[in-house]
Amino acid sequence: MGQGRILIIDDDPDITEAMSVVLENKGYVIDSAADSSEGMERLQANRPDLIILDVMMRTSQEGFELSRKLKSTAEYKDIPILMLTAVKDKTGLDFKSTAGDDAWLPVEEFLDKPVKPDVLLDKVASLIPKS
Amino acid sequence: MENLLKSTNLVQRAYWLVRLRWVAILMLAIATFAADRFMYIELAKTALFLIAGLLLVYNFILYDLLRYWTWGNKEPSERRIGWVLTFQISADLLILTMILHYAGGIENPFSFFFVFHMILVSILRSKWESYIQATSAVILFGGVVTLEALGVLPHHGLVGFAASDLYCKPIFVFGFLFVFSVTLYLVVYMTTSITEQLRVQQDGYARANALLEEKDQLKNQYVLRLTHDIKGHLAAIQSCLEIVINGMVGPLADKQMDLVDRAHRRTVKCMAFITALLKLTRMKLTGQLEMERFSLKNCVFNALAAVQNGARNKSIEVTHAIETSVDEIPGEAVLIEETLTNLLFNAIKYTPAGGKVSMTVVEEPAYVRVTIVDTGIGIPDEALPHVFEEFYRASNARATERDGTGLGLAFAKEVVERHGGQIQVCNNPEAGTTFSFTLPKNLVTASA
- Residue A83 touches chain B, beta carbons under 8 Å: no
Looking up residue A96, the CATH number of its domain turns out to be 3.40.50.2300
Give CA–CA dist B402/B382, Å, rounded: 20
CA-CA distances (angstroms) from residue A19 to A1, B116, B169, B401? 17, 80, 106, 34
pLDDT band at B72 (very low <50, low <70, confident <90, very high): low
Residue A117: its chain B contacts at CB < 8 A? 242-243, 246, 248
pLDDT band at A87 (very low <50, low <70, confident <90, very high): low
Could you give the dihedral angle defined by the CA atoms of residues B125, B128, B129 and B132, in that order, rounded to the nearest 10 degrees? Answer: 150
pLDDT the model gives residue B162: 76
Which residue type occupies A129?
P
Smallest Cβ–Cβ distance between A90 and the set B228, B239, B243 belongs to: B228
| 3-class DSSP state of B215 | helix
Cβ-count burial B286-321 (b if 16+ within 10 Å, e if not): eeebebeebebeebbebbbeebeeebeeeebebeee
Residue of A nearest to B229 (CA): A86
The residue among A56 and B6 whose pLDDT is bigger is A56
Which residue type occupies A124?
V
Domain that holds residue A12: 5-127
pLDDT band at A102 (very low <50, low <70, confident <90, very high): very low
The residue among B424 and A96 whose pLDDT is bigger is B424
Q: What is the mean pLDDT of residues B289-309?
A: 89
Residue of B nearest to A91 (CA): B282
| 3-class DSSP state of B426 | strand
CB B167 within 8 A of CB B157: yes
B236 and A19 within 8 Å at the Cβ level: the answer is no
The residue among B158 and B336 whose pLDDT is bigger is B336
Q: What is the DSSP letter of A22?
A: H
pLDDT band at A96 (very low <50, low <70, confident <90, very high): very low
Q: What is the DSSP letter of B363?
A: E
Interface test with A, best of B225, B228, B234, B239 (most A CBs within 10 A): B239
- Residue B57 touches chain A, beta carbons under 8 Å: no
Interface test with B, best of A12, A25, A90 (most B CBs within 10 A): A90
- Residue A89 touches chain B, beta carbons under 8 Å: yes
pLDDT band at B10 (very low <50, low <70, confident <90, very high): confident
DSSP string, B98-164: HHHHHTTGGG-GGGGGHHHHHHHHHHHS-HHHHHHHHHHHHHHHHHHHHHHHHTSSPP---TTTS-T
- Residue B277 touches chain A, beta carbons under 8 Å: no
Residue B337: its chain A contacts at CB < 8 A? none
Flag whether pLDDT at A7 surpasses 50. Answer: yes
pLDDT the model gives residue A100: 47
| pLDDT, tens digit, 9 for 90 and up, residues B50-68 | 999 999 999 999 899 888 8
Give strand pairing partners of B154.
Answer: none
B232 and A86 within 8 Å at the Cβ level: the answer is yes
Beta strands in B323-398 (DSSP E): 328-331, 356-363, 367-374
pLDDT the model gives residue B32: 86
- Residue A78 touches chain B, beta carbons under 8 Å: no
Q: What is the mean pLDDT of residues A80-91?
A: 70
pLDDT the model gives residue B445: 52
Q: Where are the domains of chain B?
A: 2-168, 222-285, 292-440
CB B261 within 8 A of CB B253: no
Fold classification of B292-440 (topology level): Heat Shock Protein 90 (3.30.565)
A15 and B271 within 8 Å at the Cβ level: the answer is no
Beta strands in B157-307 (DSSP E): 292-295
CB B407 within 8 A of CB B276: yes
The residue among A91 and B126 whose pLDDT is bigger is B126
- Residue A12 touches chain B, beta carbons under 8 Å: yes
Q: Tell me how close the Cα of A129 comes to any Cα of chain B, in angstroms.
A: 24
A89 and B282 within 8 Å at the Cβ level: the answer is yes
| pLDDT, tens digit, 9 for 90 and up, residues B188-221 | 999 999 999 998 998 999 999 999 989 988 988 8
Flag whether pLDDT at A101 surpasses 50. Answer: no
- Report the domain count for chain A: 1
pLDDT the model gives residue A106: 66
- Residue B251 touches chain A, beta carbons under 8 Å: no
Flag whether pLDDT at B95 surpasses 90. Answer: yes
- Residue B73 touches chain A, beta carbons under 8 Å: no
Terminus-to-terminus CA distance in chain B, angstroms? 10
B239 and A92 within 8 Å at the Cβ level: the answer is no
Flag whether pLDDT at B387 surpasses 70. Answer: yes
A114 and B232 within 8 Å at the Cβ level: the answer is no
Interface subset of A 42-71, CB within 8 angstroms of B: none
pLDDT the model gives residue A88: 53
pLDDT the model gives residue B277: 87
Flag whether pLDDT at B259 surpasses 50. Answer: yes
- Residue B232 touches chain A, beta carbons under 8 Å: yes
CA-CA distances (angstroms) from residue B206 to B32, B105, B203? 47, 46, 5
Q: What is the pTM of this model?
A: 0.62
Phi, psi of B318 (to 5 degrees): -105, 115
DSSP string, B311-342: HHHTT-EEEEEE-TT--EEEE-HHHHHHHHHH
| pLDDT, tens digit, 9 for 90 and up, residues B134-182 | 999 999 999 999 999 998 988 888 777 777 788 888 899 999 999 999 9
| Rounded percentage of chain B residues whose pLDDT exceeds 70 | 96
pLDDT the model gives residue B3: 41
Q: What is the mean pLDDT of residues B329-343?
A: 90
What interface predicted TM-score (ipTM) does this complex get?
A: 0.74
